[in-house]
């Protein structure tokens, strides 16, 4: 339609921009990938520990779960500037934002898995006098593994989003270069072809992170659950 390159570049122009800026894109892809992966891992660890505490006490769960919902409902764009004031223009700020974005699906799913125990299995453990630790390690945690995998898959895509949103702010005051930083810079220079190349790179990163979580999840499901049930919960 003979549109100007600054408005809508052709696919070959986007490809040429990607080749021209391949070094910057590769470095940014790595930086954002590290931040997104680290944030996702920390969210899984923190979220799983919080879920275990929630599963042990209904009163604690009812008292503190609204604060978990608060993390999900507050726009991350609104609190990112505050986190920069408190943490600085550093990689750790990007990771903190990513953790906040990823935390709710982990806590929500793992808590549901730890508390959704079949009544017959619970009665059996009670019959044999199993303690709280035994019940948690032998019954609740294995039952919660599919829920953890589901929450991690959801958070895998959110991790890339959180990292890039944080980089929109962090990249303004430091030499840190992530995909979000490149997007902000190229948008300011009206380099739409390079900007679209960065968008495709972020999409690729999200797909790779989701695929890695999916493969790890399949391994966990095969370890903790019968094969037929694992295939029924992709």
In tens digits, what is the pLDDT along the chain, a chain of 234 residues?
677 877 888 899 999 999 999 999 999 999 999 999 999 999 999 999 998 888 888 888 888 888 888 877 878 888 888 888 888 888 888 999 999 999 999 998 988 888 777 666 665 666 656 556 666 666 677 777 888 888 999 999 899 999 998 888 887 656 678 899 899 888 888 888 999 999 999 999 999 999 999 998 888 777 655 443 444 344
Cα separation, 216 vs 234, in Å, equals 12
Please answer whether residues 54 and 60 qualify as being in contact, where contact means their C-beta atoms are separated by less than 8 angstroms: yes
pLDDT in tens, 86-116: 888 888 889 999 999 999 999 989 888 887 7
Domains assigned to the chain: 15-231 (1.10.3720.10)
Find, among 184, 181, 190, the residue nearest to 8 by Cα: 190
Residue with tokens 């520990």: 49
Please answer whether residues 5 and 132 qualify as being in contact, where contact means their C-beta atoms are separated by less than 8 angstroms: no
Residue with tokens 């919660």: 144
Query: Secondary structure of 61-90 in the HEC alphabet?
Result: HHHHHHHHHHHHHCCHHHHHHHHHHHHCCC
pLDDT in tens, 142-174: 777 888 888 999 999 899 999 998 888 887 656
DSSP state, residue 89: S
> C-alpha angle with apex 163: 112 to 13, nearest 5 degrees?
125
Cα separation, 168 vs 34, in Å, equals 16
């Amino acid at each position: 339609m003979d549109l100007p390159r600054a408005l809508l570049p052709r696919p070959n122009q986007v490809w040429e921009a990607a080749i021209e800026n391949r070094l910057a894109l590769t470095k940014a892809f790595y930086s954002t990938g590290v931040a997104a992966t680290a944030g996702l891992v920390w969210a899984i660890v923190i979220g799983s520990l919080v879920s275990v505490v929630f599963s042990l006490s209904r009163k604690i769960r009812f008292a503190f779960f609204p604060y978990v919902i608060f993390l999900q409902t507050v726009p991350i764009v609104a609190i990112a500037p505050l986190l920069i004031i408190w943490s600085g223009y550093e990689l750790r700020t990007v990771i903190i934002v990513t953790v906040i974005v990823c935390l709710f699906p982990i806590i929500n799913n793992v808590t549901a898995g730890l508390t959704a125990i079949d009544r017959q299995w619970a009665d059996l453990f009670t019959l044999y006098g199993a303690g709280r630790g035994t019940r948690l390690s032998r019954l609740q945690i294995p039952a919660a593994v599919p829920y953890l995998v589901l929450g991690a898959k959801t958070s895998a895509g959110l991790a890339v989003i959180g990292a890039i949103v944080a980089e929109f702010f962090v990249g303004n005051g430091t030499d840190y270069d992530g995909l979000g930083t490149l997007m902000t810079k190229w948008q300011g220079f009206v380099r739409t072809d390079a900007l679209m190349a960065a968008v495709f790179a972020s999409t690729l990163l999200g797909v790779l992170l989701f695929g890695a979580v999916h493969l790890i999840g399949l391994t966990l499901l095969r370890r903790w659950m019968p094969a037929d049930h694992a295939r029924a919960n992709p």
